[in-house]
Chain A
Amino acid sequence: MTTPPPEELAIGSGDDVVRVRQLVRTAAGHAGMSLVDQTKLITAASELARNTFVYGGGGAVRVEHVVNARGRAGVRIAFSDRGPGIPDVDQALTEGWTSGGGLGLGLSGARRLVDEFELETEVGKGTTVTVTKWTR
């Protein structure tokens, strides 16, 4: 089985958020993830893509197939933007905290739905959120 190359997509509209979901669905299916794990990963991606669009002012996503040291397959997704950044990461990751009119579930929820979650942000420079989910 050959590993598909990484794919990138710009996020600049609500339609792009839908495209991100479709891209992640294909990758998760290709990695052999269970239906529940696929659903979790797509949902997390949908939350993060919306944040990139709404708060980051748009950006890009990169979807990549990865293999860990024990030979387990997974999907890694990186969302990046050059938006305002997040001044208080702990606060942003708190369930229920929102600076807009959201539910404040996106970041905290996405974090629970994946196996690895990394958030890099610098005020005035932008934000990158990278998540990975492994097949079981």
Chain B
Amino acid sequence: MERVPILKIGDVLLVSIQIDLQDQSVLSLQEDLADKIVKTGARGVIIDITAVEIVDSFIGRMFATIASMSRLMDAETVVVGMRPAVAITLVELGLSLGGVRTALDLEKGMRLLGAALPDTGAGRR
């Protein structure tokens, strides 16, 4: 099973999803993130799904779970880069993700968290 890497930029954790997620990878990512929030005292989590072609109910639920979980640990989560086709499909699937904050791209997401994106930092593509 592939694991999704978690990067630390200042006090924000950046998760850029670059693989086709299977359910076990989703569960591991949730656990890894919880650990990392506690260990680093991060105040924000950004989940970058620019490269993600589909979000089904299992992956969508992960966003909601991570958002609630991080909130309990005093960190805010923002999901960035959702493709239009993914958004349309999610609504039709019946998953509105009401409690999840979103931003159009990484830069806007960082700004939403009050964090600055380093000019040459990781996560820039």
Interface residues of A (CB under 8 A from B): 14-15, 17-18, 21-22, 25, 35-36, 38-40, 42-43, 46-47, 50, 95, 102-103, 105-106, 108-110, 112-113
- A103 closest partner in B (C-beta): B57
The residues of A that contact B20 with a CB separation of less than 8 Å are 18, 21-22
Known A-B contacts A18-B22, A43-B54; the reply to A36 vs B88 at CB < 8 A is: yes
Pairwise interchain contact A46-B61, C-beta atoms closer than 8 A? no
* 24 sampled A-B residue pairs with Cβ under 8 A: A14-B1, A15-B1, A17-B23, A22-B20, A36-B88, A38-B85, A39-B54, A39-B83, A39-B85, A39-B88, A39-B89, A40-B88, A42-B54, A46-B54, A46-B58, A50-B23, A50-B58, A106-B57, A109-B92, A109-B93, A112-B92, A112-B93, A113-B89, A113-B92
**Prevailing SS type, chain A contact patch:** helix
Cα–Cα, bound, A105→B92 (Å): 10
* Residue B74 lies at the interface, judged by CB distance under 8 Å to chain A: no
